[in-house]
């Protein structure tokens, strides 16, 4: 599976610093770009993720580019030449990350117009959601990056937190 023409370009993003944008029309179901990187063990992945997250907190950047590959390995995409790492999170994404034969591809969830930012759901776990503010600006956004299945739970947690804060005031 290859992407013959570059139907994307990296440029400034209102979501987070830089983003990946459609340069041409992209059809629903189209494989757009492969997420390339170094295949690493789960233990190495954990080490790198913690290190990259600590560095990111210092300089206010989200720089963990690690994808779950399978039970034994992950893919660290923090490499020059991996333009797919510039795809930002959205609570209403137009792409999804698909593991196709051990390779990660971004696939269009719907038709995408030229100039539209290519986004996918990062799918962070509920336990770490509050560490990851969301800036996608979509109507369904609850302000934090968390996988879709856990969004109702997070909404409930945030309401409880808000009520406690209001009682203290």
Query: Does the predicted model carry a pTM greater than 0.75?
Result: yes
Q: Is pLDDT at 61 greater than 70 in this prediction? A: no
More confident residue, 81 or 60: 81
Question: Domains, the chain, ranges and CATH?
Answer: 8-168 (2.170.270.10)
Distance CA 142, CA 154 (A): 8
Residues above pLDDT 90, as percent of the chain: 66
Distance CA 160, CA 130 (A): 14
Q: Is pLDDT at 132 greater than 90 in this prediction? A: no
pLDDT at 100: 92
| CB-based contacts of 83, cutoff 8 Å, min separation 6 | 8, 10, 20, 33
Neighbours of 120 (CB within 10 A): 21
- Max distance between CA atoms of the chain, in angstroms, equals 59
């Amino acid at each position: 599976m290859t992407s013959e023409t570059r139907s994307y370009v990296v440029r400034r993003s209102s979501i987070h610093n830089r983003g990946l944008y459609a340069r041409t029309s992209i059809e629903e179901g189209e494989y757009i770009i492969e997420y390339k990187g170094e295949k690493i063990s789960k233990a190495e992945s954990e080490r790198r993720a913690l290190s990259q997250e600590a560095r990111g907190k210092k300089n206010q950047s989200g720089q963990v580019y690690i994808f779950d590959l399978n039970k034994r390995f992950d893919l660290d995409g923090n490499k020059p030449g991996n333009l797919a790492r510039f795809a930002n999170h959205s609570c209403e994404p137009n792409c999804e990350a698909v593991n196709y034969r051990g390779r990660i591809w971004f696939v269009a969830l719907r038709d995408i117009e030229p100039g539209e930012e290519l986004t996918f759901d990062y799918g962070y776990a509920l336990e770490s959601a509050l560490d990851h503010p969301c800036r996608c600006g979509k109507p369904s956004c609850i302000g934090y990056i968390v996988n879709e299945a856990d969004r109702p739970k997070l909404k409930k947690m945030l309401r409880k937190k808000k009520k406690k804060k209001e009682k203290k005031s």
